[in-house]
Amino acid sequence: MGKTVLITGANRGIGLELVREFAGYGWKVFACCRTPESATALSQVASGAGGTVSIHRLDVTDPEQIRQLAATLSEIPIDILVNNAGVSGPLEQDFGNIDTEAWLQTFHVNTIAPMQMAVAFADQVARSRRKVIITIGSLLGSLQANEDGGIYAYRTSKAAAHLVMKNLAIDLAPKGITAVALHPGWVRTEIGGPEAPLSPRESAVKLHQVLTTLTLKDSGKLWSEDGQVLPW
Ligand SMILES: NC(=O)c1ccc[n+]([C@@H]2O[C@H](COP(=O)([O-])OP(=O)(O)OC[C@H]3O[C@@H](n4cnc5c(N)ncnc54)[C@H](OP(=O)(O)O)[C@@H]3O)[C@@H](O)[C@H]2O)c1
């Protein structure tokens, strides 16, 4: 098999465009989403990709689905695991105005699930040539870049996701795995909103460039879509 990438949250936004981008370069793409039966745009990309894109059901908050997918793909080395699935969290998340359950749910998707994916797929990644695990982080999760406050659920979940990746970079180094967080830019999606300067396509083109050039010396850092190292 040629180069392989597994992408979560692949049915829309940045994830969908990453599928299109990697498939365009001839990669075998394992495109994961919660409800394949309603993933029309992703199905269209898969049909036009000549069998290189396969669609897999995966709610990243369901450990049993993660386990089953890892078992289904157990014989396949995964060059790049992309933890892209994410949520912006509850509508209200400013000082003194945040629902605890919704905050915990945000953590489950944005922070805990990338860790569980890494645990489930580490051996398959270690058996590949590139050996890369990335989580789409966010500049909003950077402690140093935070000058505006607010957005407690999203900011804290991404800051913690960054720390997960820093930890994985240390813990998985003996397996030769590169682990990073990657800020995709401010992108016009449901999470980024209509004012964002980058289209999902533009972001995916840049992310693909960064993702395919990462090596072990780049591990344990927060990268931007332009290939710059951002402050934690
Ligand atoms: N857009 C930006 O400006 C920006 C900036 C920084 C970071 N990010 C990050 O980029 C990533 C992609 O977001 P986006 O901007 O493309 O937003 P989006 O269009 O809202 O896409 C979010 C994706 O995550 C999926 N998802 C949510 N919960 C899931 C779950 N439990 N299991 C599996 N998939 C789930 C969604 O699937 P459903 O359709 O099933 O809900 C959807 O495919 C996120 O991690 C986000 O935090 C975005």
* Interval 57-113: pLDDT, tens: 999 999 999 999 999 999 999 999 999 999 999 999 999 999 999 999 999 999 999
Domain 4-230 in CATH 3.50.50.100? The answer is no
Taking the domains of the chain in order of start, what are their residue ranges?
4-230
Residue 175: what pLDDT?
Answer: 98
pLDDT of 34: 98
- Reference 220, options 175, 171, 186, 174; nearest CA is 171
Identify the residue whose tokens are 């332009």.
Answer: 226
Strands 97-98 and 93-94: what pairing?
antiparallel
In this prediction, residue 118 carries a pLDDT of: 98
Cβ-Cβ contacts under 8 Å for 163 (sequence gap 6 or more): none
Q: Who lines ligand 1 at CB under 6 A?
A: 8-9, 11-15, 33-34, 58-61, 84-87, 109, 136, 138, 183-184, 186-187, 189-192, 196
Query: For position 180, what pLDDT does the model report?
Result: 98
Q: How far is the CA of 51 from the centre of ligand 1 (A)?
A: 25
- pLDDT given for residue 150 in this prediction: 97
Q: What is the pTM of this model?
A: 0.98
Please give the pLDDT value at position 211: 98
- Of the chain, the percentage scoring pLDDT greater than 90 comes to 100
Residues of the chain with confidence (pLDDT) below 50: none
| Pair of tokens at residue 79 | 């060059």
Report d(CA 114, CA 84) in Å as an integer: 9
Tell how far the Cα of 137 is from the centroid of ligand 1, in angstroms.
Answer: 11
Residue 114, pLDDT score: 98
Task: Determine the atom of ligand 1 nearest the C-alpha atom of 140.
Answer: 6
